[in-house]
């Protein structure tokens, strides 16, 4: 009997915010397994801002999703069938399933997830790509030195929450930027940030200045836009700006009105000797072992907290993704596609 | 008898290109020497783009010149009098004389120049700040790897000519950008660049693309503006952009018309994982010994050439500085303020 899989396919390139009409939710038969493959039942699907780029056909670091193809996405799955001697039915694995209920993947492209170590959904968040992004971005690109001031945008997001907490563990003053009062309170009271300000404030720059009395040595950039503009003038000489995302600009359809602010930005780069460095986590898997050792240890020791925002049902993925683009999620956004047998 | 010194004082903050009316050329008595000081007769005065920043009162990495003060500038001098046991009359030294015929400097702030090693004016150019800027910027910030493509703006300038030649010595493909055909020919035929294109071309981007068939791995930035815009789309993944100057923007009085290009620039930073790093040579004097050893050696071995554009007379400094801002000089611009006893 051929299993049907439910899929979210991209049928139109979104203009601005992705809309339900840009996608088709359909059922298609699961293909037969070839040699050394696994059939995966998607349990948790990760939704991440980078997916917006894949929906566009602008040249980027990775291939766009082709029209008619399933949307890209990492997931945690249960293995249902295997032609690989590395995996057996019942194993829990992580891989690039895409937005669908079942995926056939090469055994070499999936990695085992240990349900005994932590809830399996964390393989998509604090112990997955967002966690590694925070770890590499802050430690390798940010080069933090004890006593410095770190500002983290999207402070309660999957990446930001880890950046800030790792920053505290490294002896930094940590200031978050988030949307709501509730998120700001969470960053300070639960995650241990020194302060957190709302980017919805009309006085963002002044608010930020008040909580960064010694200026800013590291700005962990994931949003761009007005937040970046508020941070730039507060950067100290020799500040570092690791750039892992620019979510506020992902839905831009035209460049913002002028004037052209590039000369001002570059003047800051020169006179303050800034280092702005973009990075993509796929370049940094050589740090995965260190990451799991350190972050896994911090979680076990209760030194690093995480929060998940779990939405039920693949059919709700598009709406949840819209919420992600607009900052409505609170914690790592994950779709529960099917029952978690380990929960 | 008190010696009179001729000085160029800043009397108005320039708006746009500095004009003669922004300066006063006057004579004032030389102050008496305090303990451990030297009276210097300025022989060669260096004119450099960074001076434009000092004439402005915008916050920068160094103090602005105050109105009524002599303009900042490095010079090579003959010591006329000394209350220091480190220097004697007749010694040749380099220091921050400013735009004036005589200066009284603390002995700790001047360094000895050896007339036997090279013409003493080179202490302001190929063996001075511009040379060190090229050396540190390319080798430390640019992190060149053999076979990569380097693009150098202001290719025949005091910094650019060295960047390109050091690039060739390190096995890079070197492409220059300069103003005139004459300068481009010089870069290729005399300095050994692989190619050099004119930024006055209407088809700069296409011209550049044609001579960078493998894209650009290092862009040594000293100009900004249209040149930067032409280079950015050609940068390769993991390209480095050391920024030592932005001369095309120094005389901006308002930001350019829109749209705001910052989102486009930052998108390049992210998707191509660029590293853009501003640097100021005063932070890097720890590399001075290596620099003198390497560049001094290359000059002695005939592997590194330099060209000076020497203008006679302090009274011509303002006009010469205007020419520097507009790229009319050809080689390191130096004012011969008084007779060179070593020539």
pTM metric for this prediction: 0.91
- Are B270 and B145 found together in one domain? yes
Counting the structural domains of chain A, the total is 2
Q: What are the residues facing A316 on neighbouring strands?
A: none
B100 in the same domain as B30: yes
**Rounded Cα gap, residues B276 and A221, in angstroms:** 14
Contact B279, B141 (CB under 8 A): yes
Q: Measure the CA–CA gap between B74 and B70, rounded to whole angstroms.
A: 12
- Euclidean distance between CA atoms B74 and B131, whole angstroms: 14
A284 vs A136: CA distance, rounded Å: 7
State the Rg of chain B over Cα.
21
| Average confidence (pLDDT) over B146-154 | 97
- Chain B residue closest in CA terms to A53: B271
- Contact between A138 and A169 (Cβ < 8 Å): no
Q: Is B273 close to A280, i.e. CB distance below 8 A?
A: yes
Chain B's closest residue to A50, CA to CA, is B271
Residues A275, A144 share a domain? yes
Helices (H), chain B: 51-54, 129-136, 160-169, 181-189, 204-211, 225-231, 262-271, 288-300, 317-325
Query: Is the same domain home to B36 and B148?
Result: no
Q: For the beta carbon of residue A246, count every other beta carbon within 10 angstroms.
A: 24
* Other beta carbons within 10 Å of A199: 21
Whether residue B59 and residue A237 make contact (CB cut-off 8 A), yes or no, is: no
Cα(A28)–Cα(B289) distance, rounded to whole angstroms? 69
* Contact yes or no for B270 and A280 at CB 8 A: yes
Report the distance separating Cα B251 and Cα B80, nearest Å. Answer: 38
Question: In this prediction, what percent of chain A has a pLDDT beyond 90?
Answer: 92
Domain presence at residue A317: yes
- pLDDT confidence bin for B176, thresholds 50/70/90: very high
| Cα(B276)–Cα(A40) distance, integer angstroms | 42
User: pLDDT at position A43, please?
Assistant: 98
Closest CA to A236 of B61, B243, B62, B224: B61
Is residue B301 in some structural domain? no
Residue range A290-302: mean pLDDT, rounded: 95
What is the per-residue pLDDT across A150-159, written as a single tens digit (0 to 9) for each?
Answer: 999 999 999 9
> Is residue A339 exposed (0-12), middle (13-18) or buried (19+ Cβ within 10 Å)?
exposed
Contact A264 B271 (CB under 8 A): no
Q: What's the CATH number where B109 sits?
A: 3.90.180.10
Q: Are A89 and A81 in contact (CB under 8 A)?
A: yes
Please check whether residue B226 touches A, CB under 8 A.
Answer: no
Query: How large is the average pLDDT for residues B104-119?
Result: 94
Neighbour-count burial of A61, counting CB atoms closer than 10 A to its CB (0-12 exposed, 13-18 middle, 19+ buried): middle
- Under DSSP, the state recorded for A127 is T
Q: Hey, CA dihedral for A209, A210, A215, A219, is it positive or negative?
A: negative
pLDDT-derived band at A258, boundaries 50, 70, 90: confident
Same domain flag for A119 and A133: no
Do B245 and B110 have their domain in common? no
Q: Is the pLDDT of residue B253 over 90?
A: no
What is the rounded CA–CA span in Å between residue A141 and residue A203? Answer: 29
pLDDT digits (tens, 9 = 90+) for A23-53: 999 999 999 999 999 999 999 999 999 999 9
* Closest alpha carbon to A199 in A248, A237, A143, A165: A248
**Domain check: are A260 and A325 in the same one?**
no
Looking at residue A252, its pLDDT comes to 84
What pLDDT, on a 0 to 100 scale, did the predictor assign at position B134? 98
Contact check, Cβ <8 Å, B266/A280: no
DSSP B257-304: PSS--HHHHHHHHHHTT-EEEE--GGGGGGGHHHHHHHHHHHHHTT-S
CB contact under 8 A, B280 and A264: no
Q: Is residue A298 part of a domain?
A: no
> In this structure, is residue B299 part of a structural domain?
no
Complex-level ipTM:
0.90
pLDDT in tens, B264-273: 999 999 999 9
Q: Does B322 share its domain with B265? A: no
CA angle at A120 for the pair A117 and A125, rounded to the nearest 5°: 100
| Residue at which a domain ends, from B236, B267, B282 | B282
| Helix or strand holding residue A326 (H, E) | none
User: B173-178 and B149-152 as β-strands: parallel, antiparallel, unpaired?
Assistant: parallel
Inter-chain contact B273–A283, Cβ cutoff 8 Å?
yes
- Which range of residues forms the domain containing residue B162? 130-282
- Which of B259, B264, B270 is facing A243, going by the closest CB pair? B270
**pLDDT, chain B, mean:** 95
Interface subset of B 59-88, CB within 8 angstroms of A: 59-61
| Helix A288-300 × helix A160-169 angle, to 10° | 80
Confidence of residue B190 (pLDDT cuts 50, 70, 90): very high
Predicted local distance difference test score (pLDDT) of residue B1: 60
- Backbone φ and ψ for B35, nearest 5 degrees, come out as -65, 145
Residues A62 and A158 in one domain: no
Model confidence at A1: pLDDT above 70: no
A341 is a domain residue:
no
Is A233 in a helix, a strand, or coil? helix
Please check whether residue A1 touches B, CB under 8 A. no
* Angle made by CA atoms A78, A79, A81, in degrees to the nearest 5: 150
Residue B300 domain-assigned? no
Q: How far apart are CA B191 and CA B182, in angstroms?
A: 13
How many whole angstroms separate alpha carbon A72 and alpha carbon A92? 20
Residues of chain A above pLDDT 70, percent: 99
pLDDT greater than 70 at residue B297: yes
Residues A68 and A158 both lie in one domain = no
Is the separation of the CB atoms in A87 and A107 below 8 Å? Answer: yes
Cα of B202 vs its chain's centroid, Å: 27
With contact defined as beta carbons under 8 Å apart, do A207 and A226 qualify? no
User: Do B40 and B75 contact (CB within 8 A), yes or no?
Assistant: yes
* CA A40 – CA A110 distance, rounded (Å): 10
- How confident is the model at residue A3, as a pLDDT? 85
pLDDT-derived band at A254, boundaries 50, 70, 90:
confident
Please name the residue of chain B whose CA is at the shortest distance from the CA of residue A59: B271
Q: Which residue of B has its CA nearest to A236?
A: B61
pLDDT grade, residue B323 (50/70/90)? very high
- pLDDT tens-digit profile of B192-230? 999 999 999 999 999 999 999 999 999 999 999 999 999
User: Does A291 fall in a domain?
Assistant: no
Q: What is the CATH number of the domain that holds B222?
A: 3.40.50.720
What is the C-alpha separation between A79 and A70, in angstroms, rounded?
Answer: 20
Query: What is the per-residue pLDDT for B325?
Result: 92
Same domain, A160 and A52: no
Residues of B in contact with A261 (CB under 8 A): 255, 260-262
Phi then psi dihedrals of residue A303, to 5 deg? -90, -10
Same domain, A81 and A187: no
DSSP string, B203-235: THHHHHHHH-TT-EEEEEBS--HHHHHHHGGGE
Residue among A60, A267, A273 minimizing CB distance to B271: A60
Residues in chain A: 343
| Ramachandran region, residue A302 (left: φ > 0; alpha: ψ -120 to 50; beta: rest) | left
Q: Check if the beta carbon of residue B247 is closer than 8 Å to that of residue B223.
A: yes
Coil, helix or strand for B327? Answer: coil
- Separation of alpha carbons B320 and B306, rounded Å: 19
With 0-12 CB in 10 A as exposed, 13-18 as middle and 19+ as buried, what is B282?
A: exposed
In a domain, B291, yes or no: no
CB contact under 8 A, B269 and A60: no
C-alpha distance across the termini of chain B, in Å? 29
Strands A37-46 and A332-336: antiparallel
**Predicted pLDDT at A58:** 78
pLDDT band of residue A86 (cuts 50, 70, 90) is: very high
Q: What is the pLDDT of residue A117?
A: 86
Interchain contact, B260 vs A263, CB within 8 Å: no
**A237 Cβ neighbours under 8 A, 6+ residues apart:** A272, A273, B61
Chain B CB contacts of A282 below 8 Å:
none
């Amino acid at each position: 009997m051929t299993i049907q899989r439910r899929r979210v396919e991209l049928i139109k390139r979104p203009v601005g915010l992705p809309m339900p009409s840009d996608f088709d939710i359909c059922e298609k038969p699961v293909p037969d397994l070839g040699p050394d493959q696994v059939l995966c039942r998607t349990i948790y699907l990760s939704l991440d801002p980078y997916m917006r780029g894949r929906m566009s056909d602008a040249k980027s670091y990775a291939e766009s999703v082709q029209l008619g193809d399933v949307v890209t996405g990492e997931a945690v799955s249960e293995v249902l069938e295997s032609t690989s001697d590395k995996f057996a039915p019942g194993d829990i694995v992580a891989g690039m399933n895409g937005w669908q209920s079942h995926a056939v993947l090469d055994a070499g492209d999936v990695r085992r997830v240990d349900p005994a170590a932590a809830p399996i959904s964390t393989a998509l968040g604090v112990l997955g790509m967002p966690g590694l992004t925070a770890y590499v971005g802050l430690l390798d690109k940010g080069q933090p030195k004890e006593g410095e001031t770190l500002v983290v945008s999207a402070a309660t997001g999957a990446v930001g929450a880890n950046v800030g907490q790792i920053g505290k563990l490294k002896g930094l003053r940590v200031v978050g930027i988030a949307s709501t009062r509730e998120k700001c309170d969470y960053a300070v009271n639960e995650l241990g940030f020194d302060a957190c300000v709302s980017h919805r404030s009309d006085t963002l720059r002044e608010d930020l200045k008040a909580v960064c009395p010694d200026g800013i040595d590291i700005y962990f950039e994931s949003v761009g836009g007005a937040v970046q503009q508020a941070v730039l003038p507060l950067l100290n000489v020799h500040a570092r700006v690791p750039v892992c995302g620019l979510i506020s600009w992902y839905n831009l359809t035209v460049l913002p009105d002028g004037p052209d602010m590039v000369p001002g930005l570059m003047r800051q780069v020169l006179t303050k000797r800034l280092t702005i460095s973009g990075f993509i986590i796929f370049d940094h898997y050589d740090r995965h072992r260190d990451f799991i050792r350190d972050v896994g240890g911090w979680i076990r020791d209760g030194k690093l907290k995480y929060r998940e925002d779990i939405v039920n049902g693949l059919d709700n993925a598009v709406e949840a993704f819209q919420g992600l683009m607009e900052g409505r999620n609170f914690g790592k956004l994950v779709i529960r596609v099917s029952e978690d047998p380990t929960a």
